[in-house]
Amino acid sequence: MKCRFKRNMNTLAQAILLSLASSAAFAAPSGAELEYASASELSAMMVSNELTSVALVQHLIARVADLDKQGPTLNAIIEMNPEAFDIATAMDEERAQGKIRGPLHGIPVLLKDNFDTADGMQTSAGSMAMVGQPATQDAFTVQQLREAGAILLGKANMSEWSGMRDMSLPLGWSGRGGQGKNPHLLSASTCGSSSGPATAVAAGFTPLAVGTETNGSISCPASAIGVVGVKPTLGLFSRSGIVPITRLQDTPGTLTRTVRDAALMFNVMQGTDAADSATANAPTGIDYTALLSDAALQGKRIGYPIAYTGSHDTLLTPNPEMLAAMAVLREQGATLVPLTVRLPDIEGYLSGLMGAMKHELPEYLASRQGLPIDSLQTLIDFNQANPGDEHYCQQMLEAINAVELTHEEASAQIAIISQNFKDAIDEQLREHNLDALFAENDGYSQFSAATAGYPAITLPSGMSDDGTPTSVFLYGQQWSEPQLLAMAYSYEQASMALRQPGFKE
């Protein structure tokens, strides 16, 4: 099959390959007090009887209709949930009866299109090859959100197969959802595979969204699109019922407009899942809002890179937004410590991911019935027979299918590299007596935290001259989410760097 290449690598590919070798604006609809309100603010409006869940869902669905397939045509949404109004009605009735499930009661949430939902919606990882009988069981995380009273508004677009169809494909594109756009500057990149959820939050389609990250798929779109993206420690959230690359690196995460909203989602999404052994050692019962305070940065020691050495030697010159962010940290009482950061060797990392996906994706497909495909080979055959208008390639899928590593061999490769990154981060924190590490969107820090399986938060830091958001990145040791969220909250409250999109061409 002749296929068209587009030279635009996703964030995972960029990190791996680097280490190895006159504008017009669309008018936004009125009602910004709803579309750009946080979940906390919307919940308060519901408590005071100023807003119902039905009215909110109606407003957001209308906004999606105006902006996602018309006007700027953001293509952030793959499908809306036909049951959303029924769920909203039920949540309003419960509230009227005095039954409040918690802060997410009656609040809409969008899911990346790789979370199983036992309803009328598809779960396809953005692929037309996965359109068929819907899943028969909710992903564990979806069950948690439903039980908390959240309204599943729909499925968000994503880079097809989380960027693993072909690394030359444009970022944010899928066969089902089309080409996603950045709501700040429509021609700008949306970055990693959770781009649809990030765009939906930024554009005012939903206050809350859930994405996934293997390596960069939450941090990169959160950075490019200007929202708060939180990737937890591997194992804090269950991966059951999620289309995999590999459980050795995959994790759900949150995309929100505020740190507090992320903490509220963490309260709901934590928990032990018998079907995901990684959750057995995770802390439970934590209130992730408990430490949120304007003064949370007081007395903290935070390291920041001035150079990277090891697998890729780089000297860094902080950009203006990074310098401004560092000034905010100091003003909030933090001590900043310059670091030369060692990057461990990552040779074998990509082949390990590919080998793991070769074995884990068929296991997931076996859990689904009534789909056009049941294996990697039938997926490849489907794409060859149905090339679509773009005629995009699938060289990564073909390479994965050809990998000869056993799952044990692939797991061993990734485990060694992951442990090396854990050790490198732990060493920096211990040697310099640090509470966290802080960086701009340089790619290396994001890759390090993801490969280690450590928690990380991407935060808006302002706007660049071309009208796209800038960001900063905060990360730390295993299970340090309560402390990271607190420090991120203090920075957020002092910087007030979140910007609403202008939908500029």
3-state secondary structure string, 411-430? Answer: HHHHHHHHHHHHHHHHHHHH
| Confidence (pLDDT) at 31 | 53
Secondary element (H or E) of residue 193 = none
List, for the chain, all residue ranges whose pLDDT scores fall below the cut of 50. Answer: 1, 5-11, 13-30
Amino acid, single-letter form, for residue 301: R
Long-range contacts of 144-148 (CB under 8 A, 24+ apart): 144/268, 144/269, 144/271, 145/104, 145/109, 145/210, 145/268, 145/269, 147/101, 148/101, 148/102, 148/104, 148/105, 148/268
How many Cβ atoms are within 10 Å of 20's Cβ, its own excluded? Answer: 14
| Confidence (pLDDT) at 23 | 31
CA distance 278 to 304: 30
Written as six digits, the tokens of 240 are 């059951």
Tell me which of 112, 155, 300, 504 is the catalytic residue. 112
The DSSP secondary-structure symbol of 130 reads: G
pTM of the predicted structure, to 2 decimals: 0.94
CA distance 439 to 187: 26
Sorted by where each begins, the domain ranges of the chain are 26-297+441-495
Contact 282, 411 (CB under 8 A): no
CA distance 104 to 108: 8
CATH class of the region 26-297+441-495: alpha beta
- Report pLDDT digits (tens) over 214-246: 999 999 999 999 999 999 999 999 999 999 999
- Report pLDDT digits (tens) over 129-169: 999 999 999 999 999 999 999 999 999 999 999 999 999 99
Residue 140's φ and ψ, nearest 5 degrees, are: -55, -45
Residue 222's φ and ψ, nearest 5 degrees, are: -60, -40
Question: Is 422 one of the annotated active-site residues of the chain?
Answer: no
Question: Is 43 one of the annotated active-site residues of the chain?
Answer: no
Tell me which of 217, 240, 418, 471 is the catalytic residue. 217
Cα–Cα distances in Å, from 257 out to 38, 374, 497?
Answer: 7, 38, 11
Question: Is 193 one of the annotated active-site residues of the chain?
Answer: yes
The DSSP secondary-structure symbol of 279 reads: G
| Confidence (pLDDT) at 32 | 59
